[in-house]
Amino acid sequence: MEKLRCDVLVVGGGLAGLMAAIGARKYVEKVVLVSSAPVGRGGNTIVSGAGFSAYLGAEMPGDSEQQFFQDTFCGGAQIGDPALIQNLVEKAGPVLLQLEAAHGVKLKRREGRVVRRRPPGHTFARMVTTVYSDYPYKVRGLSITQPLLRALRTSRIICLDHYLAIELAVYDGQACGAYVLDSRGSGSLIGVNAKAVVLAAGGGGRLFSHSNNTNDITGDAYAMALRAGAELRDMEFVQFYPTMGVKPVKVTISNSLFGHGAVLRNCSGERFMDRYDPRGDMATRDAMARAIFWEVARGNGVDGGVYLDCTGIGEDVLLGVYGELTNFLRKHGCDPTRDWLIVYPSTHFFCGGVKIDVQGYTGVPGLFAAGEATGGVHGANRLAGNALSEALVSGCCAGEAAGKFAAGMGSSLPPLPAPPVLPFQEKGSVSPEELGDTLRQTLWQDASLVRDQQSLERARNTIMACERSLKTCRIANEHETKRYFQVRNMCLVARAVVEAALRRKESRGTHYRRDFPQESEAYRGSFFIRLSGQDLVLEFRKQ
């Protein structure tokens, strides 16, 4: 097995990982970044809406850090970590402007001032987007990652593309690197020995069969963190994006359109949101996704979704603020100034994740985490634009903290423990791919927008069956070896989601229990999860 030594290892090639690597490089000489996709071209950053929610001071009259905090805390049903939220609202603006000034990420401006949007849940228009007209609309987040990738190369940060981290290395209780698998075909294993590790490998949206996430977002960060001794929190809170395009094209449709006058309509053309939420079409994502789900379930849908009507916005706004989206839809035969789109919810974001403090420290010496791999900021539901802002801020904080930790160790480098055994068996009745498909279908059917005791117990039983089958599954080539490790992680994370959802006997934010449809003060807090042997141990802590 090949070995590589470095000061800081960053796992994940999206925005959080890129910022962490740049932050760590300020304090140490050798930073290595590993990514299962090409660095800067994988993960959810590239398929995001390229929008950041931030308070930019004089650019946003009437707004304030205090109001941003309040919106985020209340949007998360009052169980988010106040310290993490405060860190976000204080730093998002300055770091975003630094992203523009130092790294060449262009913010959309008109006459020198940022163009602002107001998605549901925000009191003021505080979402700003990048200039992404030079990139395909479906991967407009490249307008963020590509300038940062150039900064990485300038800083002489080592990037390992197409390497899947399969296990964090821990020696005597301290994180000391990771084992990474070449996923391009050779199947070779590399042990990366590091003084500190930043885990920024994204969320777990691909645990569900209906998802707008990229294929590499399979919960790896959560599973590796658990096995390394870190805690997870709030894993029952999975956000489902309400307006994923069904027709004329599958694409994520920005929620900020509702702040300009877009409305949802059923098959009869009726505006229905007022029947489900007093905020109507300005309801937060969790409430809107469930409303669409119920409306379709009651037979009021059309072609598997509902209509999104943007005709009341006005062509000047659609072209001036949403010109790229408007032109993209027109190319696919739909003019939003006069035509209705069809939308339906899709798995979007994990609000929970690894427990951290404001520096990204996980509680395991030498291990830090950032971005969607972490939990605490969003509580029970995330507001639009806060994901990229979180990745930006937490990536900076975790990277700098890891760099300082590594610099403080001097020349000391804990040794790597024994590597994991790579499985290989040509016989077996089922492949890892088939088990993964079963898992995704099960979670969508039994543990997605609407849950209850019976459906969650069905999901639990299927997950346990998949774990048993994984022990004797067919692994005949390097691709199936990679899928084996991904499905192993998916099974563990799926268990965490389902066990937390079973224990939360209420409905809050993105977590809706048909058998407990009301929010309960007794559950105003978080479930924290750790791994003991093969068992998950859950502990509830009041807010």
Same domain, yes or no, for 41 and 131?
yes
Same domain, yes or no, for 174 and 255?
no
Same domain, yes or no, for 355 and 333?
no
Q: Which helix (H) or strand (E) holds 400?
A: helix 386-408
- Residue 532 in any domain: the answer is no
Q: What are phi and psi of 539, to 5 degrees?
A: -135, 130
Q: What is the 3-class SS of 452-472, one letter each residue?
A: CHHHHHHHHHHHHHHHHHHCC
Same domain, yes or no, for 275 and 367?
no
Instruction: Tell me the pLDDT band of 424, cut-offs 50, 70 and 90.
Output: confident
- Exposed (0-12), middle (13-18) or buried (19+): which is 102, by Cβ within 10 Å? exposed
Task: For residues 210 and 117, give the distance between their C-alpha atoms in angstroms, rounded to a whole number.
Answer: 27
Same domain, yes or no, for 280 and 372?
no
Digit-coded pLDDT (tens) for 313-329: 999 999 998 999 999 99
Same domain, yes or no, for 387 and 452?
no
417: left (phi over 0), alpha (psi -120 to 50) or beta: beta
Same domain, yes or no, for 343 and 485?
no
Same domain, yes or no, for 63 and 159?
yes
User: What is the arithmetic mean of pLDDT over 41-53?
Assistant: 94
- Residue 416 in any domain: the answer is no
Same domain, yes or no, for 245 and 389?
no
- Residue 495 in any domain: the answer is yes
- Residue 414 in any domain: the answer is no
- Residue 543 in any domain: the answer is no
Residue 301, pLDDT score: 96
Same domain, yes or no, for 301 and 167?
no
Is the model's pLDDT at 392 over the cut of 90?
Answer: yes
Is the model's pLDDT at 185 over the cut of 70?
Answer: no
User: What is the arithmetic mean of pLDDT over 377-398?
Assistant: 97
Contacts of 112 (CB under 8 A, 6+ apart): none
Amino acid at 385: G
- What CATH number corresponds to the domain at position 499? 1.20.58.100
Is the model's pLDDT at 1 over the cut of 80?
Answer: no
- What are the angstrom distances between the C-alpha of 411 and each of 101, 404, 406? 35, 13, 9
User: What is the arithmetic mean of pLDDT over 406-434?
Assistant: 90
Task: For residues 243 and 338, give the distance between their C-alpha atoms in angstroms, rounded to a whole number.
Answer: 18
Report yes or no: 167 and 224 within 8 Å, Cβ to Cβ: yes
- Residue 538 in any domain: the answer is no
> Could you give the residue ranges of the DSSP H alpha helices within 104-240?
142-154, 220-228
Pick the catalytic residue from 41, 117, 285, 513: 285
CA angle 379, 96, 28 (to 5 degrees): 95
Is the model's pLDDT at 485 over the cut of 90?
Answer: yes
Same domain, yes or no, for 171 and 250?
no
The CB density around residue 187, as the number of other CB atoms within 10 Å, is: 16
Q: Is the pTM of this model over 0.85?
A: yes
- Residue 537 in any domain: the answer is no
Instruction: Tell me the pLDDT band of 520, cut-offs 50, 70 and 90.
Output: very high
Digit-coded pLDDT (tens) for 72-87: 999 999 999 999 999 9
- What CATH number corresponds to the domain at position 9? 3.50.50.60
User: What is the arithmetic mean of pLDDT over 171-199?
Assistant: 93
User: What is the arithmetic mean of pLDDT over 492-497?
Assistant: 98
Digit-coded pLDDT (tens) for 26-44: 999 999 999 999 999 989 9
- Report which of 45, 48, 51 is spatially closest to residue 19, judged by C-alpha positions: 45
HSE, side-chain direction, 13 A CA sphere, residue 337: 13
Same domain, yes or no, for 85 and 102?
yes
The CB density around residue 504, as the number of other CB atoms within 10 Å, is: 24
User: Mean pLDDT across the chain, nearest whole number?
Assistant: 95
Length of the chain: 543
**Domain termination site, one of 297, 322, 348:** 348
Residue 156, pLDDT score: 93
Of the candidate ranges 91-100, 217-226, 413-422, 513-522, the one whose mean pLDDT is the lowest: 413-422
In terms of residue numbers, what domain contains 263?
A: 240-348
Domains identified in the chain, total number: 3
Is the model's pLDDT at 186 over the cut of 80?
Answer: no
In the chain, pLDDT over 70 holds for what percent of residues? 100
Instruction: Tell me the pLDDT band of 138, cut-offs 50, 70 and 90.
Output: very high
285 is catalytic: yes
- Residue 38 in any domain: the answer is yes
Residue 277, pLDDT score: 94
- Residue, of 411 and 523, whose pLDDT is higher: 523
Instruction: Tell me the pLDDT band of 428, cut-offs 50, 70 and 90.
Output: confident
Contacts of 300 (CB under 8 A, 6+ apart): 266, 267, 268, 270, 272, 306
- Exposed (0-12), middle (13-18) or buried (19+): which is 310, by Cβ within 10 Å? buried
- Report which of 279, 250, 438 is spatially closest to residue 345, judged by C-alpha positions: 250
Q: At what angle do helices 142-154 and 82-103 cross, to 10 degrees?
A: 70
Strands 31-35 and 2-11: parallel
Is the model's pLDDT at 187 over the cut of 80?
Answer: no
